[in-house]
Amino acid sequence: MTQHKEHWYMLTLVGEDRPGIVAHVTAALFEGDCNLGEASMMRLGGNFTVMLMVKFAGTRKALRDLLESVVDSLGLHMHIDNIEGHLHAHLQPDVRITVYAADRIGIVAKVTGALAETGLHILDLESAVAGETDKPIYVMHIEGYASEGIEALAAALALVKEEAGIEAHLTPIETMIG
């Protein structure tokens, strides 16, 4: 294999959840001399999902070849992107928004639409459908950066709450550094 300059790739894996996915995939990456960066991995609706920054001195195809057998054996779908990302690119969130509502279509679009218009840069979003099967509750936690100030977001959220009949709370995030 021709040696390339080390490069960051974003590896995306999705498949039916089972124990050992992370161990098997990362063992293959380690054997291929890959360095791992930031990652988000979680179980969503019975699937296991991986978004993983991988630093690798080879082409995208070479990385795919390195992982193909382990990914196939685990029944995962794989996607690899070349990325221009790098480490130490964190943005600190200054606001947290929590939304609860009886589940129905459009909650995320309404809430995030109003917040985007008033300057919210979403840095992290997690959501779950809780409650009983016939009475599901949609729960969403957002952390972000209020580029136009928190008051603007609060006003937009108050409107959405009233119009859409949802519960939503906005709390400033104070980061204590010591």
Tell me which residues touch other proteins (CB under 8 A): 88, 90, 92-93, 172-178
Phi-psi region of 67 (alpha: psi -120 to 50; beta: other; left: phi over 0): alpha
Smallest separation, CB 142 to other proteins (Å): 14
Distance CA 165, CA 103 (A): 11
Return the number of the residue (22 or 173) whose C-beta is nearest other proteins: 173
Return the number of the residue (103 or 151) whose C-beta is nearest other proteins: 151
Smallest separation, CB 153 to other proteins (Å): 17
Question: Which residues make beta-bridge pairs with 47?
Answer: 16, 44
44-63: burial string, b at 16+ Cβ within 10 Å, e else:
eeeebbbebbbbbbbbeeeb
Return the number of the residue (57 or 143) whose C-beta is nearest other proteins: 143
Smallest separation, CB 4 to other proteins (Å): 27
Smallest separation, CB 177 to other proteins (Å): 4
